[in-house]
Structure 1
Amino acid sequence: MKTEPNEVHNKPKLVTVFGGTGFVGRAVVAALAKRGYRVRVAVRKPEIAYYMGPLGNVGQLQMVQANIRNRKSVDHVLQGSDHVVNLVGVLSESGKQRFNAVHVQGAKNVAEAAKAASINMTHVSSLAADINSPSAYARTKAQGEIAVLEAVPTAVILRPSIIFGHEDRFFNRFANMARFSPFLPVIGGGETKLQPVYVGDVAEAVARAVDGKLMPGGVYELGGPDVQTFRYWMEDMLRVIMRKRAIVSIPWWLASLQAKVLGLLPNPCLTSDQVKLLKSDNVVSEEAKKQGRTLEGMGIHPEAVDTILPAYLWRYRVAGQYTKTGFA
């Protein structure tokens, strides 16, 4: 059979990513592009997302308009896709971005659209996901997982702990606070255990799920190599930015009261739901470790916080990168 000169064979698979312009999303898109996939980034406002172009080769990334809360737009954007990744989530509610609308109905929309298109799915949830949690964030994350697996039983669920990296909203937030405040608040004595995971490791886990290297229908728990208390991580952050600050414990009752007031602000730094969330440890379970449903089980050696933190928190030092010794 005669072949047309410009006919393209073995076209790379197309992966559609919801939430691809966020902190985690950009790392995921870069990891997929590096593997040679074509990536369709589904966003509500594609006109402000073209800065992502350099993450891939010319024509490798495509920005399209879609709203995870609108099933028709989800169906439309999945046309021609070979796999779909859902990264969309909210830490606090505002406007139409409600926990149920995004974590449950949004995830259900993507999963049912994936089922209709006969493609597989990777869904990024949270290590906090718990159907019985007093936190609406944790409950809806768990409900979203159930909705996804009901529609696509072969979907891979990834549950990361607190994610850190150059643009995170955890270490950056408290490091910035330390620039102006003489103390840092920790709720309930800061005894909640956390297992921060590097954004690059999460992106690699997503890419391996898209590659088909993870167990169909598997629920993986992603955490870094170190489990420490909230207080410890604050002390570690202060050591990296070379600042001395008092760490003040806020009783649970007072934190709840403050959260009720702060939660009324447009972009609250603390909500009642977040206080409830902090009452539970955020670490990988022993069951997941035994069954190999972790980064290590995937063959990924997770980056330690102390390896990455100095690479981006230096900007919070008194003299930035030129600060060599001494504490402020």
Structure 2
Amino acid sequence: MNILVTGGSGFVGQEIVRELVSRGHAVWAGSREGAAVAGARGVPLDVTDPGSVLRAVAHSNPDAVIHLVGIIAEKGNQTFEAVHVQGTRHVLAAVPRGARYVHMSALGADPESGSGYSASKARAEALVRTSGLPYIIFRPSLIFGIGDDFFGRVLRELVRTAPIVPQIGDGSFPFRPVSVQDVARAFATAAESGTGVGETYALTGPEEYTFRELLQQELSAIGKKKPIVPVPLALMNLAVPLMNLLPSPPITRDQYAMLKEGNTAPNEPARTVFDLPMLRLPDQLPAIVANATE
């Protein structure tokens, strides 16, 4: 099969590309730079530019399109609306009518969410469902693996820089992180087989953790022992906007909103439907923090 992957040079994109290539597919990795990725051909693709999307699709002539492009924080004209909603609109308009379409959403996607990220993901899903394409939507939880941003950077910096570890509120917010390998397998299987067409699947891992337990896991992985100190939500509500005045805030307003909402769901039916190995966070975390860049 010819398969086009938008966002093919990203953390998740590279893993999906590798999985598809290992299965013998002809893969095009779409990115702004258009660079080759992990055995796939590169193709320039900017989802905010409909002409760029049309050219990438014409060049790759795909039997399936995997749309991954997303941002965690807004910057300049790279807004959630422009990238998640309008970008998805541009890709959907360009996909050949007979091609399968596999969409990366997010667990917690909800038009009423206090997170701009989650609300925009929900609006993008609505476009997918009315596109007329044979679609599959995946909603991953926090994705872990070597090179990830949350466990390899955000949480790592949170637990290693200060003599104490700040915990948001009572730390009870639940999460069910999923490995990038499980995510890649689900996307690749959906693209090549059409399994699950017309369905939306949560992608979560085998174990659920509270936010406090994630902090403890991260401390253990870096070999540190520090006190975890709860920070009242009232104080966090004042501190986060001030942090966002910094050029590179340790946590954005949107990330804070998502953390408070939690991020969990059962791993069925995706685990069975896509035959996922369900890799465990504690087994992977030491390698993730060891390979994190400063």
- TM class by smaller structure: over 0.9
Question: SS in structure 1 opposite 2:130?
Answer: helix
Deviates more, 1:271-280 or 1:222-231: 271-280
Question: SS in structure 2 opposite 1:121?
Answer: strand
Distance 1:96 1:207, change over 3 A: same
1:162 aligns with 2:131: no
- Structure showing greater relative contact order (alpha-carbon pairs closer than 8 Å, 6 or more residues apart): 2
**What's the counterpart of residue 41 of structure 2?**
62
Deviates more, 1:248-257 or 1:139-148: 248-257
Deviates more, 1:217-226 or 1:234-243: 234-243
**What's the counterpart of residue 7 of structure 2?**
19
1:263 aligns with 2:239: no
1:233 aligns with 2:233: no
Could you tell me which amino acid in structure 2 is paired with residue 70 of structure 1?
D
**What's the counterpart of residue 307 of structure 1?**
283
Question: SS in structure 1 opposite 2:29?
Answer: strand
Give TM-score, length-normalised by structure 2. 0.92
**What's the counterpart of residue 52 of structure 2?**
73
Q: CA RMSD in A?
A: 1.8
Can you give the 5+ residue segments of structure 2 that lack an aligned partner in the other structure? none
Shift in Å, 1:278: 1.9
Contact 1:99–1:136 (8 Å) recurs in 2: yes
**What's the counterpart of residue 88 of structure 2?**
107
Contact 1:172–1:313 (8 Å) recurs in 2: yes
Of 13, 24, 37, 1:36 maps to 24
Contact 1:16–1:41 (8 Å) recurs in 2: yes
Larger Rg: 1
1:252 aligns with 2:238: no
Contact 1:121–1:152 (8 Å) recurs in 2: no
**What's the counterpart of residue 284 of structure 1?**
265
Counterpart CA distance in 1 for 2:227 and 2:134 is 49
Cα-to-partner distance string for 1:164-207 (whole Å, 9 max, x where unaligned)? 01111122222244333212222122111000000011000000
Question: SS in structure 2 opposite 1:97?
Answer: coil
Cα-to-partner distance string for 1:37-70 (whole Å, 9 max, x where unaligned)? 1111111122xx34x3xx22xxxx2111121011
Distance 1:153 1:119, change over 3 A: closer
Give TM-score, length-normalised by structure 1. 0.83
1:205 aligns with 2:186: yes
Could you tell me which amino acid in structure 2 is paired with residue 208 of structure 1?
T
Could you tell me which amino acid in structure 2 is paired with residue 306 of structure 1?
P
Shift in Å, 1:283: 0.8
- The number of aligned residues is 289
Could you tell me which amino acid in structure 2 is paired with residue 261 of structure 1?
L
Cα-to-partner distance string for 1:122-161 (whole Å, 9 max, x where unaligned)? 0011012112212111111011011112114421101000
Counterpart CA distance in 2 for 1:315 and 1:81 is 34
Contact 1:296–1:302 (8 Å) recurs in 2: no
Question: SS in structure 1 opposite 2:8?
Answer: coil
Counterpart CA distance in 2 for 1:242 and 1:296 is 35
Counterpart CA distance in 2 for 1:111 and 1:138 is 20
Counterpart CA distance in 1 for 2:124 and 2:63 is 22
Counterpart CA distance in 1 for 2:246 and 2:88 is 27
Contact 1:153–1:216 (8 Å) recurs in 2: no
Could you tell me which amino acid in structure 2 is paired with residue 170 of structure 1?
F
The runs of 4+ residues in structure 1 deviating greater than 6 Å are none
Counterpart CA distance in 2 for 1:68 and 1:123 is 14
Q: How does 1:87-98 map to 2 (within 5 A)?
A: 87-98=68-79
Question: SS in structure 1 opposite 2:261?
Answer: coil
Can you give the 5+ residue segments of structure 1 that lack an aligned partner in the other structure? 1-12, 317-328
Distance 1:101 1:315, change over 3 A: closer
